[in-house]
Amino acid sequence: MRAPTVRAPNALRDFVKLRPEVEAVLQHVGLRTWDLVLVDATGLWVRDEFEDEEAAEAVCRELGIRVHRGWDDPRIVRRMGARDHWNTPDGQRRGL
């Protein structure tokens, strides 16, 4: 089976270019939906949805980043929780 030809979304491509030590977390979130969350070394993150796991993996290969399946790695969990987004001027306030 050939890997799907999916081009990485520009937002993910830019995040990898501009942020340090980016890694990905791939999680199944719906019947036909996979979430790809990119997290940098400081705790900033960005996400995108894909229709299947293979497409998300192909994007990670294209971007040259390590992919984790789920949140089992405590190191990546600490990264995600390291930044206090609500109490820092440059925090990502996703709930607004």
Does residue 2 belong to any structural domain of this protein? Answer: no
- pLDDT, tens digit, for every residue of 67-82? 999 999 999 988 888 7
Q: Identify the pLDDT of residue 43.
A: 87
Domain that includes residue 29, residue range: 10-81
CATH label of the domain that carries residue 53: 3.30.720.90
Does residue 69 belong to any structural domain of this protein? Answer: yes
Does residue 1 belong to any structural domain of this protein? Answer: no
Residue 22 has pLDDT above 90, yes or no: yes
Q: Identify the pLDDT of residue 5.
A: 72
- Amino acid at site 72: D
- Amino acid at site 41: A
Write out the DSSP string of 39-90. E-TTS-EEEEEESSHHHHHHHHHHHT-EEEESS--HHHHHHHHSS-TTSSTT
Does residue 90 belong to any structural domain of this protein? Answer: no
Tell me which residue of 37, 69, 68 sits closest to 50, measured CA to CA. Answer: 37
What's the total number of domains in the chain? 1
pTM of the model: 0.82
Please, which residues bridge with residue 23 across strands? Answer: 39, 66
Residue 4 has pLDDT above 80, yes or no: no
